Structure 1
Amino acid sequence: MSTLFKVVDAARVMLQSGNSFFSLMKKGASIASTRLLHNCSHYIPQLNTILDVGANKGQFALAAAQRYPDAVIHSFEPVPDTFAELLQNTRKTPAIHTHNFALGSCNGMLEFYSNSYSHASSALQVSELQQQLIPRTANARKIEVAVRQMDSLLGHITFRAPVLLKLDVQGFEKEVLLGAEKCIPQIDYLVFETSFVRMYEGEPLFDEMHHFVKEQGFELIAPVGYLQSDNLQILQMDLLYRRKRINGSARHKY
């Protein structure tokens, strides 16, 4: 029955997003990312720069390249094995530029948990609750990865507006933003995954993250995705924010 639901869901996403069946069957394509970008496009008509932080195998980047064909996409993935798949999946998409390091609040090396379920890999340890709810996330090994502040990318990456910053870093979102003090004023849209229950040890939950990004000058537009448990509890949600506007203009500080 679960296979049938997946087929029905894929058909619904194709109809809503305008994507073809074959585009969703490509290596690295993702129904979830296609749906997320489709939902974002209701509020974001155009993008010229996309920062894909926590790129995994390129699912979001590939969907973004199709949804926003004029955008230059920078994808960041620190886990070597996963990065190799990211390279393979995006090699035929010139708009996608890949970077094999994490983003965080400092420059150097970072202890990282490479999960056998790669979507759950994080600088934070998977909580017991998540292991109970999603047993496939229980196995992880410690590795060291390179980490850089986003601010260190200024001068190397062009932030051509409108700019979207997408964060899918499994509880490490605040650390990424803490390392982006100079970059944040150049971000027009921010989409990130936030938890309502502790999915990773030490992660900030929704209330803390919402107040933090508001202090950075963003306002909530809408939820654009969610993760639900088998008993219908919403565990995580993808939230889309926009830089607050003054007299109709975003507050860029270049």
Structure 2
Amino acid sequence: MFKRLQQLLSTLTIIVHPNGGIKYISRNSASLASFGITHALSKIAPTIQTVIDVGANIGQFATAIRQFYPDSQIFSFEPVPKCFQLLQKNTKDLPCISVFNLALGLENGNISFFENAHSHASSALKVSDYQKTNTPKTKTYKEIEVDCQRLDDFKFEKPLQTPILLKLDVQGFEKSVLEGATLFLNQVDFLLLETSFIAMYDNEPLFDEMHAYLKEKGFKLVAPIGALPDTNLAIPQLDMLYKRINSN
């Protein structure tokens, strides 16, 4: 009951928000979480010209980004065919967006991927016992093959305008994406990624490892800007915003 009341209040807040409204909340890809994260992001980084949206699902983040950064160019990557079809449908009327049925990672070619019945849990890594216990709907998945490419090898049609935001929501596969983007990271001004304190996926790097890796790559932690408590009210994951140290 309390959770439903929270969702109702959040929905009403978005409806009256100058960047929200009925038109946004009625979209199939509308997301309370994505709207909240993007709202927080806009307060810290008021100007973003390019968004690399990795793990786009059905377009929730891209749809929210368009509300706060109407002139940005968005590149959305989603490997699961069913989700990609919905991504195409949900973003077809958004200006300046390109979508790709592709995973990003450490290698080029086909990789094994676990398509979850709960699409938000689909990943190149298997769901952990902890997540299956706390979110039983994640127990069901099937293994598929998807195309994968290193971000360093991806060919954009034209030079990217800065500031650039790289957003990763790839369910424990974030470090592999970053390791395939060591050159591209030099262009990135802001990095938004979901990181875990409790393993939600087998062999997932946790926050301490990810934070050390990003510091080594020249990024500083700005703030956590999103959280999703589990059924026990613990917070196993946070959406963390990083900024490149020499970025203006």
Q: How has the CA–CA distance of structure 1 residues 15 and 242 changed in structure 2, closer, same or farther, with 3 Å as cutoff?
A: farther
Q: How has the CA–CA distance of structure 1 residues 153 and 236 changed in structure 2, closer, same or farther, with 3 Å as cutoff?
A: same
SS at match of 2:223: strand
> What amino acid sits opposite 1:191 in the alignment?
L
Aligned to 2:153: 152
Residues 204-223 of structure 1: pairs in structure 2 closer than 5 A: 204-223=205-224
Rounded Cα–Cα distance in structure 2 between residues aligned with 1:171 and 1:180 = 16
Query: For the Cα contact (< 8 Å) 2:14–2:21, is it kept in 1?
Result: no
> What amino acid sits opposite 2:35 in the alignment?
T
> What amino acid sits opposite 2:64 in the alignment?
A
Shift of 1:181: 1.3
Aligned to 1:73: 74
Rounded Cα–Cα distance in structure 2 between residues aligned with 1:61 and 1:130 = 26
1:112 corresponds to 2:113: yes
Q: Deviations over 1:187-221 (max 9, x none)?
A: 00000000000100000000000110111110000
Shift of 1:230: 2.6
Q: How has the CA–CA distance of structure 1 residues 173 and 167 changed in structure 2, closer, same or farther, with 3 Å as cutoff?
A: same
Aligned to 1:135: 136
Rounded Cα–Cα distance in structure 2 between residues aligned with 1:13 and 1:191 = 22
TM-score normalised over the length of structure 2:
0.96
Query: For the Cα contact (< 8 Å) 1:17–1:38, is it kept in 2?
Result: no
Rounded Cα–Cα distance in structure 2 between residues aligned with 1:237 and 1:105 = 23
Residues 1-254 of structure 1: pairs in structure 2 closer than 5 A: 1=1, 2-15=3-16, 18-156=19-157, 158-245=159-246, 249-250=247-248
Mark the runs of 5 or more structure 1 residues left unpaired by the alignment. none
Query: For the Cα contact (< 8 Å) 1:122–1:169, is it kept in 2?
Result: yes
Shift of 1:157: 5.2
Query: For the Cα contact (< 8 Å) 2:14–2:25, is it kept in 1?
Result: no
Rounded Cα–Cα distance in structure 2 between residues aligned with 1:37 and 1:8 = 18
TM-score normalised over the length of structure 1:
0.93
SS at match of 1:94: coil
> RMSD of the TM alignment (CA)?
1.4
Shift of 1:6: 1.6
Equivalent pairs, count: 247
